[in-house]
Amino acid sequence: MWQTGSGAQTNMNVNEVITNRAIEMLGAMHIAAAIEVYEVLLPGLQKLHDALEAKSKECAQIIKIGHTHTQNAVPLTLGQEFSGYVQQIAAKAAALTGLPFVTAPNKFETLAAHDALVEFRRDVNTTAYSLMKMANDIRFLGSGPWSGLGELILPKNEPGSSIMPGKVNPTQCEAMIMVAAQVTVIMSLLLLEAAMDISN
């Protein structure tokens, strides 16, 4: 398709179709969001938190070079590095709590805006970006192993290449990055849906 400018004609029409279909599929969006958070997201984040905490303790005695601006810096332990990730997840998980539901003290505010959903989107986006940063760190630290940093040995979960035996690709990190990117897109659609709901 060819058109001029920023494509506002197409974008606005497509956005309206997508958001209205999302409204049909989601129904009561606050309840749907809360159920997904409490049944899927928070238990998943708790598992990740526990795994990172265990890895932090397991690696408490492994001393490595720290980096700033990709240059060698102050030594630290691998456990300390992972402990930073533990704290990031714990803080974000705490920010996502919000049940039980109560009636809004100001009905006009809830009719005029969806501030709770906007804040929810912010917290989920922040969590997604934190996870993306962790995955990128681990991928970077495991690069190489000879011409990259090669500080971490990534697990060999599947063959990395049919023409390069022994190659290990950071597939779990890349999967996490793709999921995090998808979450940010979904959260943007949720915000758009809320805006469309208010305008209707």
Q: Determine the pLDDT at residue 134.
A: 92
* 67 is an active site residue: no
Based on the structure, what is the number of domains in the chain? 1
**Whether the model pTM is above 0.75:** no
71 within some domain: yes
For the chain, list residues with pLDDT below 70.
1-13, 25-27, 29-30, 90-114, 158-162, 193-200
Q: Is 68 helix (H, G, I), strand (E, B) or coil?
A: strand
Assess contact for 124 and 186: CB atoms under 8 A. no
27 within some domain: no
* 6 is an active site residue: no
14 within some domain: no
SS (H, E, C) 38-53: HHHHHHHHHHHHHHHH
Q: Determine the pLDDT at residue 110.
A: 60
Q: Determine the pLDDT at residue 2.
A: 46
Catalytic residue among 6, 67, 143, 161: 161
Residue 167 sits in a domain whose CATH number is: 1.20.200.10
25 within some domain: no
Catalytic residue among 69, 147, 162, 199: 69
Q: Determine the pLDDT at residue 1.
A: 47
Residue span of the structural domain in which 160 resides? 45-197
Omega before 100 within 30 of 0, i.e. cis: yes
Of the candidates 123, 143, 134, 119, the one whose C-alpha atom is nearest the C-alpha of residue 183 is: 123
176 within some domain: yes
146 within some domain: yes
Q: Which residues contact 105 (CB under 8 A, 6 or more apart)?
A: none
164 within some domain: yes
Q: Determine the pLDDT at residue 104.
A: 61
36 within some domain: no
